A and B are shown apart, each in its own frame.
Chain A
Amino acid sequence: MGATFVITLREAFEAALILGIVYGYLEKIKARDAYRYVTWGGALGVALSVGMGVAVTYLSGPLLDVGPEIITVVVIFSAVGLLTWHAWWMQQHARFMKGQVQHRIDEARAHDRLWMVGLIAFTGVFREGAETVLFLWGIMAQAGAEAGWGGVIGGVAGVACSAGLGWAIFHGGRHVSLVRFFSVTTAFIMLLAAGLFSTGVGRLQGLGFLPASEPLWNTSWLLSDRSIAGGFLSGLIGYRSQPTLLEVIAYVAYLVVTAVLLFGHRAPVGVPLVEDPTQP
């Protein structure tokens, strides 16, 4: 029961984190009507995860051999692109808040593109979704025979616990100012996306599309990727106990490039330009 709890908690954590941030963002810009994009994106992610779980079970041949990996890599890099866009957009948003008028203009503009957050929710859920579905399905299939129902309960509890954490992020975000929320979540998103980018590069190495390289260091004695803390750090900042040189380069390069892109030539984040107009 404990083991299945840890696995699903880890798998679902990243999705919960992304959903918490995106819902929180919409709440902050007073765009609650756009929650539906996120809800639909997330629901579509769950539906396609189940679909992929079913497909993988019935597929065979080359489609099963490489199909899921290629989809995973595409989803990973799409998520990196979307999250980068979102971080950039939040930065723009924070900058425009120099006055009420500009704030409103920006809001109108923001609304035009809010459906994009639905895509973010979708990639966030779908990335580890199919794996979680297969895992839960597997323990249910084995529940009657070898293992007891404890494993199933643990697995479901893990997903629920992650969802609770996502909700806590959303709820906690409501009590901080908009500017602070934006700067904190921008930093979170950058680290998360850097981790995803480096994971994508690692997967390409594993698939043989990029040259393999030795792990640069090994900290699995200190913090295993498979522990709860390792899983959380992996979701938050892309922690890996044995990263390759290429993965480390990808991680650092992503951070440097986006930092220049986001904060390069204007006011740095975290410095409130004006008092937050949305706060009472």
Chain B
Amino acid sequence: MKRRVALVAVLAVVLGVAAPVLAADPSEIPLVIEKNRFEPDVIKVKAGAPFVLVITNKDKGPEELDMQQPRIEKVIPAGKTVRLKMPALKPGKYPFVGEYHSETAKATIIAE
């Protein structure tokens, strides 16, 4: 009995945490990786609203989107499209790089 109560409690916590993430219907913003660069390299989003970066890698090798703040590391394999859920951002600039080609693959998200 105790175990069942504990299980229900754990489930409730998990759902409570996961529900807001799953329930939101955020806007989608396309981002393309080509010739080891991000296109576009400036992305404007609404502050305070979560969104989804739909990232397509058109190159022959994988790339890793690396953002310092919030801490996001996401590998996008060659030729694939990845949907990266982004948390709501406060107004400001959020630069990121493609870690595997950080000299050329640079971009910034501007939340306003």
Contact A203 B78 (CB under 8 A): no
Contact of B71 among A57, A205, A214, A220 (CB under 8 A): A205
Write the chain B residue with the least CB distance to A208.
Answer: B87
Contact A65 B71 (CB under 8 A): no
Write the chain A residue with the least CB distance to B17.
Answer: A209
Q: Is B7 an interface residue (CB 8 A)?
A: no
Contact A3 B102 (CB under 8 A): yes
1/0 per residue A209-248: CB within 8 Å of B? 1001011000010000110000000000000011010010
CA distance A199 to B71 in the complex (A): 8
Contact B60 A202 (CB under 8 A): no
Q: Is A137 an interface residue (CB 8 A)?
A: yes
Q: Is A272 an interface residue (CB 8 A)?
A: no
User: A residues within 8 A CB of B74?
Assistant: 69
Q: Is A139 an interface residue (CB 8 A)?
A: yes
Contact A65 B103 (CB under 8 A): no
Q: Is A131 an interface residue (CB 8 A)?
A: yes
**Tally of A-B Cβ pairs under 8 angstroms:** 94
Q: Interface size class for chain A? A: 35 or more
Q: For the complex, count residues of B whose C-beta is within 8 A of A.
A: 37
Q: Is B8 an interface residue (CB 8 A)?
A: no
Most buried by A among B59, B62, B63, B71: B71
Q: Is B12 an interface residue (CB 8 A)?
A: no
Write the chain A residue with the least CB distance to B76.
Answer: A64
Most buried by A among B63, B73, B102: B73
User: A residues within 8 A CB of B77?
Assistant: 56-57, 64, 134
User: A residues within 8 A CB of B89?
Assistant: 212
Contact of A242 among B36, B61, B69, B82 (CB under 8 A): B69
Contact of A142 among B60, B84, B85 (CB under 8 A): B60
Write the chain A residue with the least CB distance to B35.
Answer: A146
B residues contacting A by CB (< 8 A) are 17-18, 21, 36, 50, 59-64, 67-75, 77-78, 80-90, 99-100, 102-103
8 contacts between A and B (CB under 8 A): A7-B100, A64-B80, A65-B83, A206-B67, A208-B85, A208-B86, A212-B88, A212-B89
A residues contacting B by CB (< 8 A) are 3, 7, 56-57, 60, 64-66, 68-69, 131, 134-135, 137-139, 141-142, 145-146, 199, 202-203, 205-209, 212, 214-215, 220, 225-226, 241-242, 244, 247
